[in-house]
Structure 1
Amino acid sequence: MSSHLQAHAAELAHGFSLCELAEGLGHLDMDGADDVLIMGICDDSRHAKPGYAMLCLPRAEGRASEFAESARELGATAIISVGIPVDTQLPSLHLDSMGQAGTLLRRMFKTEQAGAHLYGITGTDGKTSVTWMLREALSRYQQQPVWSTGTLGLMRSSDDIRDIGNTTPSLLTMHAMLAEACREHVHSVVSEISSHGIAQSRIAGLDFRTAIWTSMGHDHLQDHGGYGPYLAIKAGFVCDCGSHGGNVIANADHADIRERAPASSRWYGHGLSRDDVDMGWEQELPGMLRLRSRGEEVVIEDIPLGDFHAENVACVALILMVSQDIGLQELPELLSGITAPPGRMQDVLAGYGQVFIDYAHTPEALERCLRAARKLARNRLIVAFGCGGERDREKRPQMGEIAVEFADAVWITSDNPRGELPAVIASEIEFGMQKPYRAEVHLQLDRDKAIGEAVAALAEGDILVIAGKGHEAYMEVCGRRMPWSDAEAAEKYLRRKNSGTGLVSEGEDICA
């Protein structure tokens, strides 16, 4: 079941006077504020109601007064602004920082002493998989529901998933979610923490007791001013958690994480004989993982395919040991048979094992995905992928270079071109493919046809990876999101191939 949960407005369990909310936080304007009772809060003026306070955040600068007036016309009784001026006739509370706004929301939702253990997972790649696996493992261990938020939405259970709009949703949504979790007596909440969520303070006031840093690579650099600021944003989140006494779990195999994570971090890394990590891991066979900690070893069986998933499971293992005081010998029972989220090295026809879809949309993720797939291929490795429009352009030639280095055949196609021309994006991908190509390269900008052609090219022992979109159910073109599924397209063409029916016309071959 899927429903929507973006808390542009939330009712409170009981009312607060504006003065009560303002105590010790900010500057209160206008006489009569003592008599103002706040019964709810909204961060979108269209959701204002009588008795509600309108929360004006910094991103509303320039239009905050307009939004405040719209909220007043719908019955709002107060304005709460954060770091921006608001011209309003309503009683108003002016806060200097998002930190104060977070404290205010904890006060309003009565979650100052929230019992839920908040886990925050950041990193360029691996966030969604670690979040999924940790939720599943904690549910097994605690024998009760564990909630998670992230790319896939708010998961209260495997059949109760709610859309939250962004990987890390708005400040109000995060606090409303925590309040709901507290009412439901949920003991653990696992959240993906994106760079945008950190930079825009969408997690202000939330007390993360465990922070996890999974990886560091290239993504969203255009939004943060380059790699350095992007790295600093991630480091700031985990260091803040560590400085307040929280646990920090970090990946020792990334030099930048090694340098920037706090000294108190607990480390996991590839290799069983190393003495610089708290948890070492090795994968001797697909679907099996060996873990070593403090001289002891265990084997975890029946895990998702791919070295990167072995690393994700090792991360989850260390999180469980550190945050829940679980012994190494208890881990096989908790982690054997653990699953991966949709679109992460997902076998399109379960058990068929020839076509996989994966969300890999960064150079690092694509390389890891193709390395894993190479181990499964008895013959050729084929990849179909593209790059998103209006996103980090630096990664396009890098991903092209990786594709021809690790695959035997490559289909360059479209992937959420947004407002850019797909042909331009494809040419920038191709720019990284040094000639003569080390692989067979095709251009087919129609993603459906590209998948059909790649499936048609499959021979016995070949593996096809369709990368970039994973679980996404849309293709974004010129501001519109149109329905799309890599898995459905691949399954359609696989079934046609297996039944001997026709596939699609061939695309433009750009081999040298």
Structure 2
Amino acid sequence: MQALPYRHARRLTGPNVYFADTGTALESAAGQVFDLDALRRWDALVREAVARLGWPAGARYRHRHASGATLAFSAPLDQLHIATALNIWAWWIASASPAEPLHAPGDAATWDIALAMRTLQASAAAEARPTLLALQRKARARALPFLLDEDELTLGSGSGARSWFVDELPDPAHVPWPRLHRIPTALVTGSNGKTTTTRLLAALCQAHVGDTAYSCTDGVFFQGQALDSGDFSGPAGAREALRQGQARAAVLETARGGLLRHGLAIEQADVAVVTNVAHDHFGEFGVHDLHMLAQVKLSVARAVGVGAHLVLNADDAFLRTQSTALSCPLAWFALDFDQPLLRLHRALGKPTCGVRDAHLWLALAGIEHDLGPTVAMPLSLGDRARYNLGNLAAGALAGALLGIAPGTIARVLVHFGQDPDDNPGRLQQWMFGSTRVVVDYAHNPEGLRSLLDALDASRRGGRLGLLLGHAGNRQDEDLRAVAHVAAAYAPERVILKELPGYARGRDADSVPALMHAQLLADGLDPQRVQLQPDEVQAARSLLAWASEGDLLVLPVHELANRAKVVALLDGMAASGWHAGDAVPGRRPD
């Protein structure tokens, strides 16, 4: 049986990297051979089918890249299933796929275009939801969030929202439009620092207006309580946060995966933040370089309209370069408040934030505000965590653009991070005598390097022990790059962990094997490297190895495992554990 000519076809349910509307996107099959004429044939087939279906002649996107092609086009909200089927059908024909044609009932015939058109027209008529589209038009006219999933439609957000089951939609004339509104909403994306900045900004909103909902890679939270646990950094998490009926503000972590798979959950935000762009996730959805990855991150700009701002990192060359193509209002942050771009921006009366003379400064509406010494801000780790200085600046600037007073921002910054629950899994530390243990989420080369630098790992007094592993959804060179960074700090012990639930199509042991080979290639003594298939047991093994004065760095990636490791460390701290004591629950290696 021949392989299918595509590997991933999906609905785009909101503004996305390709265009500002809803639609569909398809990734061609890995290794599929085709020429540029195939892309032109796809375009012609889609254009003709869209016209025959009576849909608006919207955007079409075709992009050839190192792993194939991405093909996308816009379509009405109620026709996304049909549009996805049309996308598959058009590529099947255009690429001259040798795979056996689809024969299931309702599939468009790849051998008869006229028959296919009749099938698609019948399916489109059956899927039509005129009431849904009328509600969407009314909501857009009022700049109201329109939150739709398979089961529920919500108009408005937070305390200004009302929801209906999708099979019980109201007549637009019967919707209580005057009672609906949207709450202040922020989007946060970037390669590193997303979750920390999201949590910080949520804390700022909580101090400013009270009840704040936020979604991130750890779950959905409201009033300090977890509503759901897991990775909710995509549209589903955003919708859940925005549907909290008592919420007065929302902060939505907006990760690359959700942006590429489905787009944004909302069409309008009050502020959006891009923390940075770093080498990560190459090879997925047509993203093979930092230029394209920056475009993905900057797709949040589609939700930045009149009166809103896009907050960008002026220390990031790719963001500086690509910002010139943006039409939305910009605000810049940097580690240096007097960085040339920030000075120029301030000269125009525009907002900036950064560090000057070891203080965090905010410029807003032509006035400069001293937010206090950064060394007094727990996130800065005594000014050693430079990446968190950037997160502090990004969060403070975004908060100010949401209307939060500088005094309120300053008060939050000197407290946020004191409590481990403020930012769990990010730079969490325990001291066992002179042995220091740190739990973090560092998951790419830049993140790991920044973490180890913040911990002065290269100037340590004792030994360095490091937990190392990764999910399988990275290219081989990306996995090797993480190991290469680790080797540069000459750790005395590396425990390579497997993440069985995150193999992402690889053999279970292939990721540790790649990293192991790179560590040895970089000169690490094989006796210093061990393999442990269980993430929690790997942490226990490293703790059992520790001596007084050692630094143990534990990047723990699976949420449930992190909770177990944190509970283990809390229990050990409560019992007065010291290096050399037995580690609770440890199995023999």
Distance 2:261 2:583 in 1: 50
For residue 379 of structure 1, report the CA deviation from its aligned partner: 2.9
Distance 1:128 1:341 in 2: 8
Instruction: Give unpaired runs (5+ residues) of structure 1.
Output: 1-25, 29-52, 69-83, 475-482, 508-512
Indicate how the Cα distance of structure 1 residues 333 and 89 shifts in structure 2: closer, same or farther if over 3 A, else same: closer
Instruction: Give the equivalent residue in structure 2 for 1:459.
Output: 547
Instruction: Give the equivalent residue in structure 2 for 1:247.
Output: 309
The answer as to whether partners of 1:218 and 1:363 remain within 8 angstroms in 2 is: yes
Moved more, 355-364 or 335-344: 335-344
Counterpart of 1:253 in 2: which secondary structure? Answer: coil
Instruction: Give the equivalent residue in structure 1 for 2:334.
Output: 269
Indicate how the Cα distance of structure 1 residues 460 and 174 shifts in structure 2: closer, same or farther if over 3 A, else same: closer
2:398 alignment partner AA: I
Which has the larger share of helix?
2
Counterpart of 1:394 in 2: which secondary structure? Answer: helix
Instruction: Give the equivalent residue in structure 1 for 2:559.
Output: 472
The answer as to whether partners of 2:256 and 2:296 remain within 8 angstroms in 1 is: yes
Counterpart of 1:453 in 2: which secondary structure? Answer: helix
Distance 1:395 1:415 in 2: 16
Counting only pairs closer than 5 Å after superposition, residues 375-386 of structure 1 correspond to structure 2 as 377-386=460-469
Instruction: Give the equivalent residue in structure 2 for 1:125.
Output: 192
Indicate how the Cα distance of structure 1 residues 333 and 169 shifts in structure 2: closer, same or farther if over 3 A, else same: same
For residue 195 of structure 1, report the CA deviation from its aligned partner: 1.7
Distance 1:231 1:266 in 2: 17
Instruction: Give the equivalent residue in structure 2 for 1:318.
Output: 397
Instruction: Give the equivalent residue in structure 1 for 2:294.
Output: 231
Distance 1:243 1:141 in 2: 23
Instruction: Give the equivalent residue in structure 1 for 2:348.
Output: none
Distance 1:323 1:67 in 2: 51
Which of 78, 92, 100 pairs up with 2:128? 92
Counting only pairs closer than 5 Å after superposition, residues 13-412 of structure 1 correspond to structure 2 as 56=81, 87=123, 92-93=128-129, 105=146, 109-111=154-156, 114-142=181-209, 144-163=210-229, 166-170=232-236, 174-175=238-239, 177-178=241-242, 180-181=243-244, 183-184=245-246, 186-225=247-286, 226-227=288-289, 228-238=291-301, 240-242=302-304, 244-261=306-323, 262=326, 264-277=329-342, 278-281=352-355, 290-291=360-361, 293=363, 297=370, 298-300=372-374, 301-304=376-379, 305=381, 306-324=385-403, 326-327=405-406, 330-339=408-417, 340-348=422-430, 354-374=436-456, 377-412=460-495
The answer as to whether partners of 1:409 and 1:439 remain within 8 angstroms in 2 is: no
For residue 439 of structure 1, report the CA deviation from its aligned partner: 10
The answer as to whether partners of 1:387 and 1:425 remain within 8 angstroms in 2 is: yes
Counterpart of 1:413 in 2: which secondary structure? Answer: strand
Distance 1:132 1:156 in 2: 11
Distance 1:106 1:88 in 2: 22
The answer as to whether partners of 2:498 and 2:509 remain within 8 angstroms in 1 is: no
The answer as to whether partners of 2:463 and 2:551 remain within 8 angstroms in 1 is: yes
Distance 2:552 2:276 in 1: 25
User: How big is each residue's C-alpha offset from its partner over 1:405-457, in whole Å with a ceiling of 9 and x where there is no partner?
Assistant: 13533414224242433432123223433443399731223334432332233
Instruction: Give unpaired runs (5+ residues) of structure 2.
Output: 1-52, 56-77, 90-102, 107-119, 157-176, 343-351
The answer as to whether partners of 2:496 and 2:516 remain within 8 angstroms in 1 is: no
1:317 alignment partner AA: A
Counterpart of 1:270 in 2: which secondary structure? Answer: strand
The answer as to whether partners of 2:512 and 2:531 remain within 8 angstroms in 1 is: no
Distance 1:323 1:350 in 2: 41
Moved more, 344-353 or 307-316: 344-353
Indicate how the Cα distance of structure 1 residues 374 and 154 shifts in structure 2: closer, same or farther if over 3 A, else same: same
User: How big is each residue's C-alpha offset from its partner over 1:20-43, in whole Å with a ceiling of 9 and x where there is no partner?
Assistant: xxxxxx979xxxxxxxxxxxxxxx
For residue 358 of structure 1, report the CA deviation from its aligned partner: 0.6
Q: TM-score, normalised by structure 1?
A: 0.69
Indicate how the Cα distance of structure 1 residues 397 and 187 shifts in structure 2: closer, same or farther if over 3 A, else same: same
The answer as to whether partners of 1:347 and 1:355 remain within 8 angstroms in 2 is: yes
Indicate how the Cα distance of structure 1 residues 295 and 500 shifts in structure 2: closer, same or farther if over 3 A, else same: same
Moved more, 379-388 or 346-355: 346-355
The answer as to whether partners of 1:270 and 1:280 remain within 8 angstroms in 2 is: yes
Instruction: Give the equivalent residue in structure 2 for 1:15.
Output: none
Instruction: Give the equivalent residue in structure 1 for 2:159.
Output: none
The answer as to whether partners of 1:407 and 1:439 remain within 8 angstroms in 2 is: no
For residue 371 of structure 1, report the CA deviation from its aligned partner: 0.9
Distance 1:249 1:347 in 2: 30
1:365 alignment partner AA: G
Indicate the RMSD between aligned Cα atoms, in angstroms. 4.2
For residue 372 of structure 1, report the CA deviation from its aligned partner: 1.0
For residue 189 of structure 1, report the CA deviation from its aligned partner: 0.9
Q: TM-score, normalised by structure 2?
A: 0.61
